[in-house]
Amino acid sequence: MTPIDKLTSTAVPLPLPNIDTDQIIPKQFLKRIERTGYGDFLFYDWRYELDIPDHVEEKKDFVLNNPAYKGSQILIAEKNFGCGSSREHAAWAIAQYGFLAVIAPSFADIFFSNAGKNGIILVRLTEEETETLIKKCTANPKHELTINLEAQTVTDADGFSAHFDIDPFRKYCLLNGLDDIGLTLRHESDLDKFEENHNKEFWLSPKSDKAA
């Protein structure tokens, strides 16, 4: 994972509550064996006209298809984001599309865990604060927000400022770009030493009398 400390970006407003993982990444894409390329299918049913035979066309009225929001690294939604099934593909799709952070009043627990392990900052603000940011970014697609993970704040150039809480362990992992594998590899030398000692103790040498 890439370490994240401070993120300044425009933000995509998606003013809907209870956005579930089947909308984030529809079930038909779970059959893929790759772990990459899911950004193309993020919000697939909302992004594309699916009733046109043998042709996929973008819906012009869906926010992700608005050129003004291209390159935004922050997504803003309403409460209970990521509810539904526990598919990790939802976090993959968000990250691989290019979002580094999601702001919402609340998140489903399993999605919250999956997102953190995939390097996504999840920012819980109040419903009023979230609504304010949605309005700002809807009125002006070029409106920039700054998420300061170290300080645990969200600010903008107009004077908006809000504090968010985050688990210290998850904060540490995001600041240092550590997923589960990265956390394990911090102890690589100890693991190598344990493996070496284990082999000496339990593996028989080809020249051992016991092996004869």
Q: What are the extents of the domains in the chain?
A: 6-178
Tens digit of each residue's pLDDT (9 = 90 or more) over 100-133: 999 999 999 999 999 999 999 999 999 999 999 9
Residue 171: its pLDDT value, please? 94
Sheet containing strand 153-156, edge to edge, reads 121-124, 101-104, 74-77, 6-14, 144-148, 153-156, 161-163
pTM assigned to the model: 0.84
pLDDT of residue 212: 45
Unique residue bearing structure tokens 């869906």: 62
H helix and E strand count, the chain? 8, 9
| DSSP class of 207 | T
Give the model's confidence band at 178: pLDDT under 50 very low, under 70 low, under 90 confident, else very high. confident
Superfamily of domain 6-178, CATH level 4: Aconitase, domain 4 (3.20.19.10)
pLDDT tens digits, 67-100? 999 999 999 999 999 999 989 999 999 999 999 9
E-strand stretches of the chain: 6-14, 48-49, 57-58, 74-77, 101-104, 121-124, 144-148, 153-156, 161-163
Q: Which of 108, 137, 110, 143 is nearest to 124 (CA)?
A: 108
User: What's the DSSP call for residue 69?
Assistant: G
When the pLDDT of each residue in the chain is averaged and rounded to a whole number, the result is: 89
Per-residue model confidence as pLDDT tens digits over 47-64: 998 876 666 789 999 999
Would you say 21 and 45 are in contact if contact means Cβ atoms under 8 Å apart? no
